[in-house]
Amino acid sequence: MTPITVTSMSVMCFLLASGIGLWLGQSLPLSEWSRETQELVKESRRLVVGIATLSLSLILAWATTSFNERQNEIENSASKIVGIDSTLSKLGTKADGSREMLHSIVEKGIVRIDAIATDGFGTEATRKGIGINKLQLQILDLTSDNQREEWLKSSALGLVKELAQYKWLQFSGANGSIQSPVLIIMIIWISIIFLSYGMVSPLNWTGVTTLLVVSGVTSSVIFVIMDLDSTSGGLIQSISSEPLKAALQQIDAARIK
């Protein structure tokens, strides 16, 4: 589900819970709404609020970490690509074919990352291989005339192996690390909080407006969490091909020299 869908569902759940709470608060007989009952509701709400606050904080930290990892992965990939090309260039003309293949891989990688950013993993564009294994084999087949060239070849192979571990180069990946059951439970907890707020809220414009505003603010937190965790769409672009484009320009400039 998209961040907008989850946020819309959460708003509806919170408003529905608030409405039920308002109805209960006005409909329950006084014998069922004694001072002791009100205190019980308040204490129970404090407990649920504490649990929900802690859980939301942990989930937000989790989503932020996932976002940063995706950003760092692309940036690290770009630096390794430049490193591979620089290492291969020291092998002379015998490595020209490998450098051309690396150039092609980067171009295909840019297309793949743009596809992931738009549609997520699991699309036709992300299921196609881009030739990283072929590059490894081609570098492995390069002849080494001395220890220096053997070391350069081994270094290039090591960098290619590290590059191949990144998720954007694999056939599948995670569109998000937050599981649906976690979100459902969180929305239920927060809905219970709004139910209790509705029970003690006065049935007037001020009370209803306050519940509407708080529902929107709480749902916006869920939207931010989902947007940070999502690889595709959303307001926050969590995966970008710009570092690879910069790397491509750099290796093109190195080939011209």
Q: Is 28 left (phi over 0), alpha (psi -120 to 50) or beta?
A: beta
- Please report whether residue 94 resides in a domain: yes
- Please report whether residue 121 resides in a domain: yes
- Average pLDDT of the residues in 21-33: 80
Q: Could you give the CA distance from residue 120 to residue 82 in angstroms, rounded to a whole number?
A: 26
> By residue range, what is the domain housing residue 212?
41-256
User: Contact, 14 vs 215, CB < 8 A?
Assistant: yes
- Please report whether residue 218 resides in a domain: yes
- Please report whether residue 3 resides in a domain: no
User: Domain count of the chain?
Assistant: 1
Residue for token pair 């019980």: 40
Q: Coil, helix or strand for 185?
A: helix
Supply 93's token pair.
Answer: 């003309």
Q: Could you give the CA distance from residue 124 to residue 104 in angstroms, rounded to a whole number?
A: 18
pLDDT for residue 246: 92
- Please report whether residue 9 resides in a domain: no
pLDDT for residue 255: 72
- Please report whether residue 6 resides in a domain: no
Angle at 244 between CA 165 and CA 249, to 5 degrees: 140
What are the φ/ψ torsions at residue 29 (nearest 5 degrees)?
A: -65, 155
- Please report whether residue 237 resides in a domain: yes
Question: By mean pLDDT, which of 10-24, 26-40, 96-110, 128-142 is the weakest?
Answer: 26-40
Burial of 7 (0-12, 13-18, 19+ CB in 10 A): buried
What's the CA dihedral at 211, 215, 217, 218 to 10 degrees?
130
pLDDT at residue 236 tops 90 = no
- Please report whether residue 189 resides in a domain: yes
Q: Could you give the CA distance from residue 190 to residue 183 in angstroms, rounded to a whole number?
A: 11
- Average pLDDT of the residues in 58-75: 85
Question: By mean pLDDT, which of 31-45, 85-99, 123-137, 162-176 is the weakest?
Answer: 162-176
Choose between 122 and 248: higher pLDDT.
248
Q: Could you give the CA distance from residue 87 to residue 75 in angstroms, rounded to a whole number?
A: 19
Whole-prediction pTM: 0.72
Proportion of the chain above pLDDT 70, given as a percent = 86
If we measure between CA atoms, which residue out of 234, 239, 185 comes closest to residue 66? 239
Of the pLDDT bands very low, low, confident and very high (cuts 50, 70, 90), residue 45 is confident
Of the pLDDT bands very low, low, confident and very high (cuts 50, 70, 90), residue 172 is very low
Q: Could you give the CA distance from residue 224 to residue 227 in angstroms, rounded to a whole number?
A: 5
pLDDT for residue 27: 84
Tens digits of residue pLDDT in 218-230: 999 999 888 887 7
pLDDT for residue 116: 73
- Average pLDDT of the residues in 168-192: 74
pLDDT for residue 128: 63
pLDDT for residue 79: 92
Per DSSP, helices labelled H in 90-120 are: 96-119
Amino acid at 243: P
Supply 32's token pair.
Answer: 């069922």
Tens digits of residue pLDDT in 76-98: 989 999 999 999 999 888 989 99
pLDDT for residue 26: 83
What Rg value do the Cα atoms of the chain yield, rounded? 27
Angle at 147 between CA 141 and CA 150, to 5 degrees: 25
What are the φ/ψ torsions at residue 91 (nearest 5 degrees)?
A: -85, -5
pLDDT for residue 171: 45
pLDDT for residue 238: 64
Question: By mean pLDDT, which of 20-34, 84-98, 150-164 is the weakest?
Answer: 20-34
Of the pLDDT bands very low, low, confident and very high (cuts 50, 70, 90), residue 13 is very high
Q: b/e for 233-244, b at 16 or more Cβ within 10 A?
A: bbeeebbebebb
- Average pLDDT of the residues in 169-183: 66
